[in-house]
Amino acid sequence: MSLLSLRVDPDPVLCRPAQPVARVDEEIRRLAQDMIETMYANDGIGLAAPQVGRDLQLFVASPTRERGRELVVVNPVLEAARGRNSIVEGCLSVPQVWEKVPRATWVRLRGLDGTGTPFALETEGLLAIVLQHETDHLQGRLFLDRLPWWHRRRLPRLTRRRACA
Ligand SMILES: [Zn+2]
């Protein structure tokens, strides 16, 4: 396993919708394992493939940070979302910025797991927020993009989005 280097805003790979994974093969499984190690090494609770420079619909998550209980999600689709919630979020691709982001409370997500098996997950709380944050990455969106304009305007100039604007 190896640690991957993180891409940081305004890297253009963070601005584009990622490509669907055609097949969950050995290479994808290895990438997911490396992403899990990289996520833990950087104290993250989620990491999407574009954040390590890979243009693929893949993310890993571990809101409880429990080893062996990580979620690997390939080609995710957020099918439904309900309610309003917000917590202070950060992102490994936007260092030193933490902001309260409007999100749904509850989501239903469909995708493939790390073995390529289809699954659906209905969840709320922190995991629901992580799923929304990571799914956004695969659409080329950062959490800063979810802030209302008046809130974003208050951010220091350098932490506003530049590359994708
Ligand atoms: Zn992020």
Per-residue pLDDT, 67: 93
Q: Does 162 fall in a domain?
A: no
Q: Does 118 fall in a domain?
A: yes
Domain extent for 111: 12-157
Report how many domains make up the chain.
Answer: 1
Per-residue pLDDT, 159: 65
Q: Does 4 fall in a domain?
A: no
Q: Note the pTM of the prediction, 2 decimals.
A: 0.95
**pLDDT single digits (tens) 1-46:** 899 999 999 899 999 999 999 999 999 999 999 999 999 999 999 9
Return the H-helix or E-strand segment holding 138.
helix 126-138
**pLDDT single digits (tens) 84-109:** 999 999 999 999 899 999 999 999 99
DSSP structure class, residue 126: H
The alpha carbon of 90 and the centre of ligand 1 are apart by a number of angstroms equal to 7
Q: Is-catalytic flag, 99?
A: no
Q: Does 5 fall in a domain?
A: no
Return the H-helix or E-strand segment holding 24.
none
Q: CA 26 to CA 34: how far, in whole Å?
A: 12
Q: Does 6 fall in a domain?
A: no
Q: 121 Cβ partners below 8 Å, 6+ apart?
A: 108, 109, 110, 131
Do 50 and 15 contact (CB within 8 A), yes or no? no
The alpha carbon of 137 and the centre of ligand 1 are apart by a number of angstroms equal to 7
